[in-house]
Amino acid sequence: MEAIKQVSEALKPKFEELISYLDDSQQVAASAFFTGLLVKLIAVKEEEHLLSLFMELSTTAFIGLEFDDFSVQLIDDILLHAQEVSATFAVDSSQTH
């Protein structure tokens, strides 16, 4: 549970920065998508829910939204962090089984 809280606390400001930028640049649909993910991130209590959120996050390229270069940079930062966390959880899980 502590690891989930740490991940959430690390990702929350990244999402907030992205959403703020999307709002400022009137990218309403993209802002709504990432706001929904942020709400889910804040509510996450279990590893499975966090990994499910990461799967949903990974669909970003396929949801039909266009992003400018700065948005892509912010999104890539979030995706990289999510990928690192997922890999860590996978290693931890394989060592306990």
Q: Considering the chain, what is the average pLDDT of its residues?
A: 90
Alpha helices in 1-97 (DSSP H): 2-24, 28-43, 47-57, 69-96
pTM (whole model) above 0.85: yes
What confidence tier does 95 reach under pLDDT thresholds 50, 70, 90? low
Region 3-26: mean pLDDT is: 95
Residues 40 and 4 sit within 8 Å (Cβ to Cβ): no
Using a pLDDT cut of 90, give the percent of the chain over it: 77
pLDDT at residue 96 tops 70: no
Q: Parse the chain into domains and list their residue ranges.
A: 2-96
Residue indicated by tokens 């907030």: 16
